[in-house]
Amino acid sequence: MDPTQINSGDTAWVLTSAAMVLLMTPGLALFYGGMVRSKSVLNMMMMSFGALALISVLWVLYGYSIAFGDDLGLGLVGDPTQYLGLEGLMAEPKGVALPPMAFVGFQAVFAIITVALISGAIADRAKFGTWMIFAGVWATLVYFPIAHWVFDFSAGEHVGGWVANNLLAIDFAGGTAVHINAGAAGLALALVLGKRRGFGKDPMRPHNLPLVMIGAGLLWFGWFGFNAGSALAANNLAAVVWVNTLVATAAASLGWLATERLRDGHATSLGAASGVVAGLVAITPACSALSPVGSIILGLGAGVLCALAVGLKYKLGYDDSLDVVGVHLVGGLVGTIGVGFLATDAAPAAVSGLFYGGGVDQLWRQVIGALAVMTASFVATYIIALVLQKTVGFRIDEVDEIEGIDLSTHAETGYDLHSSSGSRTGVGPLETSSAAPASPDRATSDHEGKVTT
C-alpha cells in the first residue's frame, strides 16, 4: 500500500466506523430512556438528541480546531482559529492515507456521545434550555481541550496534547477523554442539581427494560466502530481491537450478573445490559494494549467493580440517577489504570504492564492521566454548572418535576395507550395563535394515574 495516496479501504472503514459511533448516541438515548420513569422518557432521550444536534455544529465551527489544531502551549489546547469552519480541509489531500475530513467526522461523534453520556446523572429534573447551554459550554471548555490532551498526537511540524505526547499514557479510544471525563462531569452535575424529589424513598424503577436492552445492543454494535475504528485504518490493529472489545464486554456482563446473583439473589436484565456497558467502557482505553485473555480479566473486573460501585450513591447520598459515575467513571478508571497492570508487549501497543514484567513505568503514567482528566473535568464542570444554576437556573420547578418533565418541558407524553385520551383543540399550527403549553390537568390524569405508587 502506498501511504502517500488515499487508501480506499482505510477511508471506507473510518467513515463506516464514524456512522456506527453516531448510532451510539440514539442507542444511549434508548438505554437511558428506558431506565427513567415513563413521565420523563422523552426528556431523557432529548438530552442525547440535543447534544447530537448542538455538538455537531460546534465541532465543525471550532471544536475540531481546539482539539486538533496546533498546540498553543503546554499541550493543553489547540489553536481554535487554525481549522475554523473546516474551510481548509475540503481540498483533495496529498501525502496521506486517510482524508482529514474522515478523521474530522470520526472525532465529531466522539464529542457528541461524551456530552450525551453526562445527561444520565441528572434525569427527570434539568431545564432543557440550561442543559443545551451547558452542553455547548462544557464541550467548548472541557471536552475539546481534553480531547486535545489525549487524542492529538504530534506529527512532523504538528504539536499535539500532553497526555498523548509527554505523559505517554495509553488511552486508545477514550477511557480518559470520554468516560472518566463524562463520569466526573456527571458527578459534579448531580451534586450541583441535587437529588430528585423522592430520591431514596419513591420507587424510581426503570419503566421499560426492553428499551434499555435495545439501547445496550446498539451501543455494543456502535462501539466496534468506536474502538476498532480508532485504529484509523483497516488493518491488524483494528482486528485485534475488535476481538478484545467483544470478549471484554462479554466477560463484564458475566461479572455483573454473577455479582447480582450472589448479592441480590437474581441475575437481572438491567444487570446484563449494565455489565455490557461497563465492559465496553473499561476496554476502550485498553483494547490495543491487552491480549484477548487479558481483556477477559479486565472485563470481569469491570463488571464486578461497577456492579458494586452503583450502590455508592445511596451510601454517599448523591443522586447520579442512571449511574454515570458507577459505570463510566469507575469503568473508565478500571480500564485506564488496568492498562498499567495488564498490558502485554505481544499486543499492538507493545507495552508491558506490571503483571507482564514491565514494572510500574506504564502504571504511573496511566494513574496520572486518569487523575488529571478526572480532576480537571470535575472542577471545571462544577464551576460551569454552579454558574448556570445561579444565573439561568438548572433545575425545573418542583410541581413540574412531580407531574413529569416531559409534559412541563416538552408539552408531550411518551406513551398514549388510551384511544379516548382527549380531543383536538386546534386545527393546525397557524390556528393556534398563542403558544399555550398543553394543559397539565388533562394529560396527567390519563398517563400518570396508574404509574405512581
Q: Does 416 bind another protein (CB under 8 A)?
A: no
Among 152, 260, 320, 448, binds another protein (CB under 8 A): 260
- Count CA within 13 A, CB hemisphere, residue 207: 20
Among 41, 116, 164, 310, binds another protein (CB under 8 A): 310
Q: Does 315 bind another protein (CB under 8 A)?
A: no
C-alpha cell read off for 297: 480479566
| Rounded Cα distance, 40 and 226, in Å | 29
Which of 13/32 has CB closer to another protein? 32
Handedness of CA 269, 275, 281, 283 (dihedral sign): negative
Which of 326/404 has CB closer to another protein? 326
Which of 221/314 has CB closer to another protein? 314
Among 3, 129, 311, 359, binds another protein (CB under 8 A): 311
Name which of residues 363 to 392 contact another protein (CB under 8 A).
Answer: none
Which of 34/145 has CB closer to another protein? 34
Q: Which residues contact 423 (CB under 8 A, 6 or more apart)?
A: none
Which of 102/327 has CB closer to another protein? 327
Smallest gap from residue 36 Cβ to another protein (A): 12
Smallest gap from residue 453 Cβ to another protein (A): 5
Among 36, 108, 307, 334, binds another protein (CB under 8 A): 307
Smallest gap from residue 232 Cβ to another protein (A): 36
Smallest gap from residue 268 Cβ to another protein (A): 7
Among 266, 350, 421, 422, binds another protein (CB under 8 A): 266
Nearest residue to 153 (alpha-carbon basis) of 169, 136, 130, 129: 169
Smallest gap from residue 310 Cβ to another protein (A): 5
Smallest gap from residue 203 Cβ to another protein (A): 4
> What is the DSSP secondary structure assignment for residue 322, as one 8-state letter?
T
Among 63, 271, 301, 332, binds another protein (CB under 8 A): 271
Which of 197/205 has CB closer to another protein? 205
Smallest gap from residue 35 Cβ to another protein (A): 8
The piece of 68-76, 269-277, 359-367, 369-377 that touches another protein (CB under 8 A) is 269-277
Which of 357/449 has CB closer to another protein? 449
Q: Can you spell out the DSSP letters for 85-133?
A: GGGGG-SPP-S-SS-HHHHHHHHHHHHHHHHHHHGGGGTTTB-HHHHHH
Name which of residues 198 to 217 contact another protein (CB under 8 A).
Answer: 203-206
- Count CA within 13 A, CB hemisphere, residue 158: 16
Q: Which residues contact 219 (CB under 8 A, 6 or more apart)?
A: 24, 27, 28, 31, 276, 277, 280
Quick one: residue 7, left, alpha or beta (phi over 0 = left, psi -120 to 50 = alpha)?
beta
Smallest gap from residue 48 Cβ to another protein (A): 20
Which of 56/269 has CB closer to another protein? 269
Q: Are 33 and 211 in contact (CB under 8 A)?
A: yes
How many Å from the N-terminal Cα to the C-terminal Cα in the chain? 64
Which of 308/371 has CB closer to another protein? 308
Radius of gyration of the chain (CA): 22
Q: Which residues contact 159 (CB under 8 A, 6 or more apart)?
A: 70, 71, 75, 165
Which of 37/148 has CB closer to another protein? 37
The piece of 5-13, 44-52, 308-316, 380-388 that touches another protein (CB under 8 A) is 308-316
Handedness of CA 63, 68, 70, 75 (dihedral sign): positive
Q: Which residues pair with 155 in a beta bridge?
A: 158
Nearest residue to 278 (alpha-carbon basis) of 243, 259, 252: 252
Name which of residues 324 to 343 contact another protein (CB under 8 A).
Answer: 326
In this structure, the number of other CB atoms found within 10 A of the CB of residue 368 comes to 13
How many amino acids of this chain bind another protein (CB under 8 A)? Answer: 21
**Interacting residue ranges for another protein, rule: CB under 8 A:** 203-206, 260, 263-266, 268, 270-271, 274, 307, 310-311, 314, 323, 326, 450, 453
